[in-house]
Amino acid sequence: MRNYGHFIGGKHVAGTSGRTADVYQPLDGSVFGKVALASKAEVRAAVENAKAAQPAWAATNPQRRARVLMKFLELCARDNDKMAELLAREHGKTILDAKGDIQRGLEVVEFAIGAPQMMKGEYTEGAGPGIDIYSMRQPLGVCAGITPFNFPAMIPLWKAGPAIAAGNAFVLKPSDRDPGVPLMLAELFLEAGLPPGIFNVVNGDKEAVDAVLDDPDIKAVGFVGSTSIAEYVYARGCASGKRVQCFGGAKNHMIIMPDADMDQAVDALVGAGYGSAGERCMAISVAVPVTEEAANRLMEKLVPRVESLKIGPSTSLDADFGPLVTAQALERVKGYVDIGVKEGAKLVVDGRGFRMQGYENGYYMGGCLFDNVTKDMRIYKEEIFGPVLSVVRAKTYGEALDLANDHEYGNGVAIFTRDGDAARDFAAKVQVGMVGINVPIPVPLAYYTFGGWKRSAFGDLNQHGPDAFRFYTKTKTVTSRWPSGIKDGASFVIPTMG
């Protein structure tokens, strides 16, 4: 049994609120440990620590800050197996997939090593007579991240990597379902030479989140999670005068044109639909074959592939996916399958009855596949976040495009086609933030930015890439003139450089 507390001021500290939550091991349903749930006072202690440590860190030159991140990358490589094993145990995804979770986070830390470049300002010599103008980027102070269960390494690093590289101190409030890896990241940051207090982890639930949102010393909050909470965090954080960016839920469509390579499309659909048990914000949850004929060809190949998906414990090296994260998540997802049946969709593969031999108490279900789903059904409109794929048949390309455009979510989308014109038109017109052309999960690399549209994101800047440095810094612009440049007397009109 593990006992997770918080990580404040460079040390593990036990929780003092008296409130805890169980952390489960989804592969067999056993309790793996307990995690402390912070009170407002515990959040405040972390913020005070961070606030005291931040000025010296900001005054450390950006190359030296970057070198700490370089060392951190080395240490994560050293401990990669240990971290992936812990991540898989607490989350339920397979160890190989857990390694991808860590890797995509570390790639943003690699990008953040470019902080000396990203922090550079602009300079105009001679903007007026004897007048120069320059701008600089300065850190905000203390920033916070509130992160979901489904990428316990990647998303904390997407937030903390750029924030820390820019000279901020960071308070992370990770998901209470898999707190082990965030605490391990805190230990590695410290070992890499990050001063105590610059990266803190406060475990908790709504009470800790509200304390973060209301704390006057936290200047920016980056959130990732479900849309209803994203909207709440955005409203409350903005109301207290912070910068807030919130990334929410998704319903990602994959459009399959009649000229697509059907084998490639089917490979893409099973991987992107069922990988990590569908618990990815960029999972494909809706397949839209265009024309009846293409739909029939697709289903002929897709059904046997879904029927033969390999489900296994997270430790299995050849499982396609593992258990869901909690017993409640399993019930919720199965509940959606029941709803789909009642709504009249055709359940062509039913994974609800799947039991994992030897792991009967684990949170497993098999892949489910619905055909003839229509846009008024709840299983189409709502995010299921499980191994359930819905097929919506479209008659024309225009109808398929409208489906993606009319959906309230706009995180990711893909089109499979050999027709460059169709792909180009789609990329230009689709109202979704991240688009794949024959790529099912178009998560942009670290040096581009990540963010959905519509109700998949609240705020105006994306995660990672150059936007992260804009989000975690403020711009100061200096207009300067030296005595030799002063030619005129007092001026009472707005200055122009004309």
Q: Which residues here bind ligand NAD, judged by CB under 6 A? A: 146-151, 173, 175-176, 205-206, 209, 224-226, 229, 247-250, 281, 383, 385, 411, 452, 456
**106/294 with CB nearer ligand NAD:** 106
Tokens of 111: 């990008």
Tokens of 148: 């979901």
**212/392 with CB nearer ligand NAD:** 212
For the bound state, the minimum distance from the C-beta of residue 152 to ligand NAD, rounded and expressed in Å, comes to 9
**79/231 with CB nearer ligand NAD:** 231
**109/302 with CB nearer ligand NAD:** 109
Q: In this structure, how many other beta carbons lie within 10 angstroms of the beta carbon of residue 67?
A: 15
**Type of residue found at 373:** V
The span from the CA of 49 to the CA of 68, in Å, is: 20
Q: Are 223 and 230 in contact (CB under 8 A)?
A: yes
Q: Are 366 and 309 in contact (CB under 8 A)?
A: yes
For the bound state, the minimum distance from the C-beta of residue 478 to ligand NAD, rounded and expressed in Å, comes to 36
**Residue from 264, 91, 86 nearest 185 by CA:** 86
* CB within 8 Å of 256: residues ≥ 6 apart: 262, 265, 287, 288, 289, 290, 294, 298, 416
- The SS3 of residue 114 is coil
- The SS3 of residue 487 is coil
Beta bridge partners of 138: 474
**162/225 with CB nearer ligand NAD:** 225
In 75-149, which ranges are E strands?
123-128, 131-139, 142-146
For the bound state, the minimum distance from the C-beta of residue 50 to ligand NAD, rounded and expressed in Å, comes to 18
Active site residue 281: yes
For the bound state, the minimum distance from the C-beta of residue 331 to ligand NAD, rounded and expressed in Å, comes to 14
Q: Are 435 and 266 in contact (CB under 8 A)?
A: no
For the bound state, the minimum distance from the C-beta of residue 173 to ligand NAD, rounded and expressed in Å, comes to 6
For the bound state, the minimum distance from the C-beta of residue 378 to ligand NAD, rounded and expressed in Å, comes to 16
For the bound state, the minimum distance from the C-beta of residue 430 to ligand NAD, rounded and expressed in Å, comes to 17
**Type of residue found at 144:** A
The span from the CA of 482 to the CA of 480, in Å, is: 7
Tokens of 321: 């996916």
For the bound state, the minimum distance from the C-beta of residue 337 to ligand NAD, rounded and expressed in Å, comes to 18
The span from the CA of 374 to the CA of 340, in Å, is: 10
- The SS3 of residue 39 is coil
Long-range CB contacts (< 8 A, 24+ apart) of 352-357? 354/311, 356/311, 356/312, 356/313, 356/323
In 105-228, which ranges are E strands?
123-128, 131-139, 142-146, 169-173, 199-201, 218-224
Q: Strand 412-416 vs strand 409-410: parallel, antiparallel, or unpaired?
A: unpaired
The residue from 76, 246, 281, 368 that is catalytic is: 281
Query: Which residue minimizes CB distance to ligand NAD?
Result: 225
Tokens of 78: 């050293």
In 350-440, which ranges are E strands?
368-371, 388-391, 409-410, 412-416, 434-437
CA neighbours closer than 13 Å in the CB half-sphere of residue 268: 28
Tokens of 141: 């102070």
CB-based burial label for 489 (10 Å; 0-12, 13-18, 19+): exposed
The span from the CA of 150 to the CA of 389, in Å, is: 18
Please give the positions annotated as active site: 281
